[in-house]
Amino acid sequence: MLETILNTKKQEIATLVMPESTKVERRSLYQAIKQPNRELGLIAEVKKASPSKGLIREDFQPVEIAKAYEAANADAISVLTDQQYFQGHRDFLTAIKKETNIPIMRKDFIIDEQQVEESFRIGADAILLIAGTVSDEELFQLYQSSHQKGMECLVEVHAASELSSLLTVFTPELIGINNRNLKTFSTSLAQTEDIAKLVPEGSLFVSESGIHGYEDVKRVQKAGAGAILVGESLMRAESPNLGIKHLFGELTHDSTS
């Protein structure tokens, strides 16, 4: 699947039309999740559809969802901007950035400097970089140019071998451990437990994907995660607020909104 997505990205990059620059102040994702609003940080994702689940949320109002995440004390927001596989759009990110006050991460498949510049222009505070999509050296280049532009990076790995290889080239401040196997689409929190052992002391790590309830939250927290990245379970919840409360075990019998 990843290979198919990356082939699409290469075609998109070849015809990329650079947007005008949006004037925004940049916010730190690292600081937000270092000092989270709850026992561990929450990056709440705006995700309409996915390759594994198809359409997740029919009534999809990206800015309203993002504002509700912020009101429910999410620490940061992840916005899927890929159109073909996730039904996202880069305009969603710009609109969300203008209407919220917490860090906004661009979640896409970023493999080229032009996409870094595009992310900067649309107003992203941070971008996702995925190990294995380009060489570790190329990933480091993208990481450095993002930082030079004032954006931070969440560097995602799917295997212990990917992280150890990456660490021979550079040490990301923010490491994402994705619990989803991109071949089978199945998720396992054991991924977080296995890979966590390799995370260097100075880095914060985020457990991503397949987190649906408080038991999951406690499990990845025990493994050392500083934050979680959650999409589907929040998008399927009756409201973002109820979804977040459910996730952190904050629901009481009289919780109605």
Q: Which residues bind ligand LARABZUK (CB under 6 A)?
A: 1, 45, 47, 50-52, 178, 180, 182, 185, 208-211, 229-233
Name the residue nearer to ligand LARABZUK (CB basis): 81 or 178: 178
Name the residue nearer to ligand LARABZUK (CB basis): 172 or 210: 210
CB of 176 to ligand LARABZUK, least distance (A): 8
Name the residue nearer to ligand LARABZUK (CB basis): 1 or 71: 1
C-alpha–C-alpha distance, residues 103 and 93, integer Å? 11
DSSP 181-211: -TTT--B-THHHHHHHTTS-TT-EEEEES--
CB of 32 to ligand LARABZUK, least distance (A): 17
Name the residue nearer to ligand LARABZUK (CB basis): 60 or 185: 185
Backbone φ and ψ for 95, nearest 5 degrees, come out as: -65, -40
CB of 68 to ligand LARABZUK, least distance (A): 17
The secondary element (H helix, E strand) that includes residue 71 is helix 62-71
User: Rounded to the nearest 5 degrees, what angle is found at the Cα of 235, between the Cα atoms of 160 and 241?
Assistant: 110
Cα–Cα distances in angstroms (integers) from residue 86 to residues 41, 45, 55, 155, in the given order: 24, 12, 8, 20
CB of 215 to ligand LARABZUK, least distance (A): 15
